[in-house]
Structure 1
Amino acid sequence: MKHIKNTLKLFKLDWQRIFKNPIATFLIIALMIIPSLYAWFNIKALWDPYANTGELPIAVYSDDKPASFKGKEVNIGDEVLKNLHENKQLGWKFVDSKQELDKGVKSGKYYAGIYLPKDFSKDLLSFTTGEITKPKIDYSINEKINAIAPKIADKGASSLQAQITDQFIQTASSTLVSVFNEIGYNLDSNLVSITKVRNMILSTDENINQIDKYTQEVVALHGKIPELKTKLGKANEFVGYLPQVDALGAKLVDLNDKMPTIKEQAKVILTLQEKIPEIQNAGKQLAMIDEDFASVEQTMNEGINEAKQGLLIIQGVQGALPEIQKLGDQADSLATATSEGAAKLQEALPGITSSMKVTLQAISTISSSVASVVEQLRNNHLTPEEREVLKQQLSDSLGRQQAVIQQLIQTMTQIQEAAGNQELQPTIAKLNTVNNMISVLKAKVDSLDVNAITDADLEAIQNTANDIAATAGSIDVDAVSTMVNNILTKLISTISTAQDLLNKAKQIDFAALLSSTEATVSNAIGILEKYQAELPAIKQEIHDANVLLNGHMDTIVNGINKGADLYNNELPVIQEKLGLAASFIQNDYPGIKENITGTLKTVNEKMPDLEAALDKANDLIQNDWPNIKSGLHKAAEAIRKGEKDVDLGEVIKLLKMDATAESDFFTKPVEIAENKIYPIANNGSASTPFYTALCLWVGAVLFSSVATTDFYLDEKDRGKYSKREQFSARMMTFLVMGLAQALIVTLGNYFLLGVDVRQPVYSVLFALLIGFSFMMMVYVLVGLFGNVGKGAAIIILVLSISGGGGNYPIQVSGKFFQFINPFLPFTHAVNLLRESAGGIYWPNAWKAIIILAMISIVFCVLGIFLYPFIEEKTKKLANVSHESRIFH
């Protein structure tokens, strides 16, 4: 119970700290919303990618010439163009020449081009002549413009091909069946003679022409032997370049392996982007100091002049003091001499007051002086020698300040003793406090190890300096001056009216008092003149820094924002493509290489045998085939005359059937009955589970990169709470962020984007479970292993994008991704969100729920148990990485 109570107390403290700091509150709210933007923008971009294919430019040109069919002129090309004018599926562009089409496709003006050649109609109708030539559509495509556009264009070309085929089948079948109807009615009266003619035609058409076609193909192949041998030689030359391809592939794989390191190093640009407001605020403050520097110089000069005037007065009093003391030796004029000395001291009081004021003002600036040195010591680019010089300069300055304070204390003590009262004691006590604090600060500075300066050491020095400045600033110099003046006035009055106080006046050591005052003022003047000598250089440095920073502020901010945009948007794309290329080199290329070399070896071995066989076949076709062909015709005629297998009556009955019904059957012999199970309205809604799960993991990684897993407590509170309690409290803060991110993205999906979700309540609940699980995993990884844990979270993210089966079925991915798919939490998160999107099949949903819940429990238990044992080792590892001056 104590553990739970302390954990809740620390959790409450976490959020109190957040809401007390406006910047922290703003960052927390931003980190709740930013991951959702990642999902919303991607979902909206993929909402209906095929709705605007009508804007995709596809060039079309027909060079088709009319062909004659059953006494009519037919131009299929014109019919195709006419139909395409009414087709809005793609952006058909009707160009005026084949040259314009080719140029437009090469330049990228058109994604693809479709060309119908001159003999398109003639070849399409060649089936009516018996010499069938398939018509060709010349389809060219520019695949480098875009990855998806060629697939859409291919679909358009295939659709055009199907459209032409359907139209052709419908027309041809309708025409042929109508002709067959006419033939069928005529066959009844000429059945015997027609049977003989039909048999001979079928025999010739089914055997001799087909064989003759094959012989011509063999002759053509024999003629291409020289060309094939030339291409084989080029292929053998290509094999010689394979070692260079291997070397290039190895470099590509090596670069892909280093990509996580490169990406981690580039992440520093995001930190700079978060610091932009601080950089801009620093520029404003620097400009303000640059503008007001003249008043600082004026104040410094006036203080030095006033101190010097006071010093002259004191020195004048010192010159007259011997005479005063000489007169004081005479008993009868002792009172007069003492009164005159006090009056002289009262006359020098403005100079003493000015010196005291200058001294205290110099001490009040100790905070800014120490802050400047502390900031320089934080600079990791300084060498140990340069840091030692800064440390010694600060120590010497503190020593001089301490000497001035001690001299001032001595002066005021002597004045108080001369007056015989304790009116100056509060001021003397404050000065003693300042003196002691300077001693403590000097000891801290002297004990610094320049090779191992920590932020805690520098913060302690800065806090002590601030306390010194505050204490010195609390002394009212004018009040002290008035008090000293009143003391001296009373002293003079007492000497004048009470001769019995003469003996006490003799005890006042005016020489020591004036000497102490002179030393105090001289030290103050020395300190101020040292600062005065450095003012021109400081002024020039501040002005140069102001011009450099504020003069290029827009360039700096724009550069940082562009760098962050490149890191967020372009670098993941490069990393993904590089990973695909490396995967190809590692997985697919070895098999392709082996196939190429093995196939070429076989072809080289068999080419002589193939060439000899084709020579023999070509000789047979050229010399013996005509006689063989004539003999085959005669044999076929004799065989067909004796065949009685075909029932011509059934054929006539078939030919006389309904032409319209049969034509429609040939065109579409099969109809498809479509049944949609778990329908989803659009592509954006179908992509929502993937991008929602992805944004929750990205949100967890992003928050772990910005927020720390360490719980900072004051020195007095550290012993009250165990490491497990601190770890558990910060875990609860991270989990609240994960739940908030999940709630925002799912509600935004439904109410802002209008995503089609069949079970919106379960969608929110499932997303909360996923956000909880993902944040638990990332927090434990980062809390236990630091930067290594962040790297592991990023690796899981990369593997999840490729192996989670989010946008493409996992079955079309490589074997490696199919293997890791069941082990990725991302896989089960996407599957669970898909259930609420299309309709829940509870056996699948419960499986994903149990897996995600078990992952959360395991990571929670392991994190709480292992943290006290691993924390020190993780910090040592982090300190080792800090020594590189690269990692924070």
Structure 2
Amino acid sequence: MKKLTGSRIGNLVVVVAVVIIPLLYAGLLTLTYQNPTNRLGDMTAAVVNEDSAYTTTLASGEKKTLSLGAELEKALTEPDGSQDVGFTWTSMSEAQARAEMGQEKVRAILYIPADFSQKVSLVGSKDPSQAATQRLRLVTDDGINYLAGTMARTVASELTNTLDSQGSAQVVDTLLLSVSTIRDGMVTASDGAATLADGTTTLADGTTTLSDGADSLSSGASSLTVGVRQLADGSVTLTSGLTTLSDGTATAASGSQQLADGVASLSAGTSSASAGASTLADGAKTLSQGTSTLVSSAGTLADGVGQLSSGSGTLADGVSRYTQGVDQVAAGAAALQAKATDPTSGLAAGIAQLQAGIGESGSTDTSTLTGGVTALDAGAAQVSAGLNSPQANGVSLKDGAAGLASGVTTAQQGVASYTAAVDQLATQCAATGASAEFCAALQQVSSQSAALNTGMSQASAAAAQVSTGVSQVADGAAQLAGSTSALSQGTTTLREGVDRLASAVGSPSDVTVPGNASSPQTLLGGINAVAGGLSQVTTSTVGGQSVDNSAALRQGATQVAGGLATMNDQVPALTSGISQLDNGAASLSDGATSLASGLVTLDQGAGTAASSAQTLADGVARLASGAASAQTGSQTLSSGLATARSGSQTLADGAAQLASGAQDLEDGAGKLNDGATTLADGLGDGVDQIPSYTQDQRETMSSVASDVAGVDTVREHAVANNGAGFTPMFMSLALWVGAIALFLVLPALDKRDHGERWWASAIRPATTALLLAMAQAVIMMVAVNAAGELHAANLLGLALMAIASSVCFMAINQACVASLAFRGRFVSIVLLSLQITSMGATFPIETAPRFFQWIHPFLPMSYTQLSFRRLIAGGGLDGIYLQTLGVLLIWTAIAVCVTLLGARLRRGRTPLPADNALAPTAA
């Protein structure tokens, strides 16, 4: 095999370099972004604690000093080995933290407010309504690093959990521990002590009364001894008297039985007399009523006769007019007869329809009034029974509805207690060390408390409305059941009235004959009679000939007037006689009534006397028997009193001992009463020192205790979008790639005339590349700012910085190619890969491996991306512009020197080998 020459080795190197370019890119980028989020601890953050210790008065009256800001600062800067606090925290002042953030020494600043401890302490005060969750600020700067703000959110979440855990434990342990429970217990104890004081007062009063009673008992026992002695003496006298009483009662028993027999005979006689008097009174009353009617009728008769007499004269004059109108009346009577007797629409037919609509008594046909009322009465009774009568379970619907309302109210109270307990467990779950999954599930259950309480309140209100409605329906049903009886009676009365009306109207075929009582006396009979009679008034038929009756009518009217005048003269005498008869009948009725009443009373008294006499006889007999027994008993009493005399003396001795013990009890009860009163006063004072929180205050305390503080992430100089956050890296990368492209189309060195100076071969292509690089920078910045909606804070400055960067990158790439020919492009790609991985434009450089952190400050893109970021966001590192320009100037100067060196060496005695990347005349 042919030995490799230098050019062959070079070619091999080029081949290897080309092959490993993808590996170079993928490997470096993977190594850089392997796990930056697990290196948060390599990033430094500042704690600016503006809080100061605060001494508060707890609800119990105890003084407590809180310094929550210092505790949080210590927890962050000196964490336990097992505690993850995210960044590496350092305590700083605000000015120092700001300065170091501007130098990339600090990535975030946590501000603890000045009144942090004071505001949190309000939770345990007597008025916690002003307490609120405190907000801490975690500040990052998009003008320095965009993803630092995103990573700060993760740290803020962990800080919030830490604050909630420590703050809740602090508040619950030192400020709120069992305040409500203690108060409830104290109230109960105070009430019990007050009751005890009242009871002991009553006890003291009772023992005083007992002592007094014992004294009285002792005195009474002594008196009893004397009385028993006197009673024994009197019992002898009682025995003698009872013997005499026994003899007398035997005689009285015989006489009282005779008295009872006589009174019974008297009672039987008065009963018969009373019955006869009642009959007499009824007859007298009937006579009185008849004479009263006769008197009234006589007056009416007198008035009528006078009117008849007066009208008889007028009759003669009116007869003529009468005869003229009779024909008209006759015609009207005929029409009335026709309509009244019509079989379909007449009066009788209408009454028949009315009777059918009412129905028969006891009918169940609901199409009739009687049947409907019967059905209504039965339905009302069933409704009333269904609501008020016990069902199969022994409870009525009305009572069941009331029980339902009571049960729902009890259930509502139970649900309220349950939800309150669940809410309290949910707020204290994290502090108890339970798992996050359990706490999340408990929080989800707690979130349903409000809906559950609302639903139970609505159910309770609905149950109360149901109970009220059922009660009203039951009362209404009872009233309806009572009203249907009256309706049924009214229907019966209506039926009877219609029947009487039908009887009074009669049949269309009825004809009433005047003076004939056996003819139908009905309305239709009268109408038929009037219609028939009127036809005979005007004319009559004699021997088959029609005769005019008007002349005879006028003559008869004159005769009637004369006769009525004579009758009128005799009426006053008739009226006077009837009045006298009426007065006598009334007197007879009154006397008979009084007699009947007196005899009834006499009968009742006689009956009572008979009963009492019999009772007296029985009692006297029992008295005689009792007197004999009393005589025997008095003898026994006399012997027993001797024993009682001995016992009464023993009672007197015991009563004296009781009086002495009662006095001792009275003294002890007084001391107990004093102690119980003191206890009640002390407990009452203790209850007054414990606050009673309102519902709003309890909710505020629960909310703040479970969420003492939160952390808000603040992005200073926030960019418009994610693209604006990553654009600084993309811009730097694009300008470098653009520089590589320049020398893919332009030669790095160019020599056209051997008579030219050696440095001209480098200056000519550099000038062309410079102009193109500037055009690349301006076009890129303007287009990307518009298309990507970057809203750069300083677009002109951004374009100028891009021009400076592009010129530097162009010079570096020219130097690589001018010195190493086409191999220099590989070096350019290596430089590009190293800068992408070490510039810190995505994740902060602290999260990259140590090698990339070491080369970071020496590469130009580390500075260009920071300058671009500040020009877009409007804020960032202090003095970054001068640093960037300085670094770019250094790299440009080095690159120019290398390019000139390459141009010089190619003109020397030993020029570099020919390179296709160089112009043909450059060799």
Larger of the two Rg values belongs to structure: 2
Whether these two folds match at TM > 0.5 is: no
With the length of structure 1 as denominator, give the TM-score of the two structures: 0.27
Q: Compute the TM-score of the two structures, normalised by the length of structure 2.
A: 0.26
